[in-house]
Chain A
């Protein structure tokens, strides 16, 4: 009797141990499966390309004129700039006149161009037929405001939609800012906060860099999540 009870107890005990070890094995397998599921469900890394980056220095960002310097004997026309024989990258601006005087604050730049240096260019004033005007009293323009402009095309090659606030831009590895912060508020489609950058979409970017020095950036880097791309400028 005693022996059979002992053997019975052993059998029960061993059975429980077997069940316990099986339960542990099942739990381990569940953990492994869960981790595999977590890994496979992870979001793919962002994928994008910087198709090109062009930098223009000494771009004429703004042209202005002070009251009293509007000249006389002008017609509505076109303003062009030269530094020596250089035509400042085709800079062009239109203006209107009132009573022969150029309207202050109504000089509209149609092509910002770019000059070879930050020296004040020589202004030439044409009529709408591209003939040089011969005023009674010549007008005098203020020294222009020069900026550095950066143009780039970037394409989202991944499957996910990215946000402009998630894209960090570095200029020669420094001065990081998000795409939203960096874009010119009036001339870029990315001016809005959190603008979507859809899969397959190419964005034409424009930076108006109010550069105080003549440093010309050589490399533009972009970081989105763990993905970083760098492109040399041209």
Chain B
């Protein structure tokens, strides 16, 4: 009887220790993830009252700038842009880094020029206020990624 009780309590201990180990790992990972999310950030850069719209193409093109204001590199290929709630397809989004010498990665304090084109922009007149929402995923940092976003009301001018 005693042996049975010892076996049961040993099994319970083993299970609890295992659970404790996995729980602490999950919590540690969660903490690292939360810390990373605090350390990645992007922000609209430039003059929100002067966002250029190019009307020369079939689909009008809006150009704005995003600054990496976090502490880790961001992945500009994993970016989603919404203009007035409309998700712009990846084919309508082009990006380029600015600066001298021209950066090759979106590191902290690197400015990214974003040009988005869509035929729905053709109806925008000058001095129209539009909403720009951008969300981007970071590069992998110690096996983890996080995302950052901003929402900015801007005025477009051709």
Q: Using an 8 Å CB-CB cutoff, how does the interface string of A148-184 with B read, 1 for contact, 0 for none?
A: 0000000000000000011010101110111001000
Question: Known contacts being A166-B109, A168-B67, is A223 close to B46, with CB within 8 Å?
Answer: yes
Q: Is B16 an interface residue (CB 8 A)?
A: yes
CA distance A230 to B50 in the complex (A): 10
Q: Using an 8 Å CB-CB cutoff, how does the interface string of A18-49 with B read, 1 for contact, 0 for none?
A: 00100110011001001100110010000000
Closest to B2 in A: A5
What class of interface size applies to chain B in its complex with A?
A: 35 or more
User: In the complex, what residues of B have CB within 8 A of residue A1's CB?
Assistant: 1
CA distance A5 to B6 in the complex (A): 9
Q: Is chain B's interface secondary structure helix, strand, loop, or mixed overall?
A: mixed
Query: Is A39's CB under 8 angstroms from B38's CB?
Result: yes
Query: Is A38's CB under 8 angstroms from B38's CB?
Result: yes
Query: Is B1's CB under 8 angstroms from A219's CB?
Result: no
Q: Is chain A's interface secondary structure helix, strand, loop, or mixed overall?
A: helix
Query: Is B47's CB under 8 angstroms from A172's CB?
Result: yes
Interface residues of B (CB under 8 A from A): 1-2, 4-5, 8-9, 12-13, 16, 19-20, 23-24, 27, 30-31, 34-35, 38, 41, 43-52, 63, 65, 67, 69, 98-100, 109, 111, 113, 157
Identify 10 residue pairs between A and B in the complex whose beta-carbon atoms are under 8 Å apart, listed by A's number.
Answer: A5-B2, A12-B9, A13-B12, A20-B16, A27-B27, A173-B49, A174-B50, A181-B99, A225-B69, A228-B44
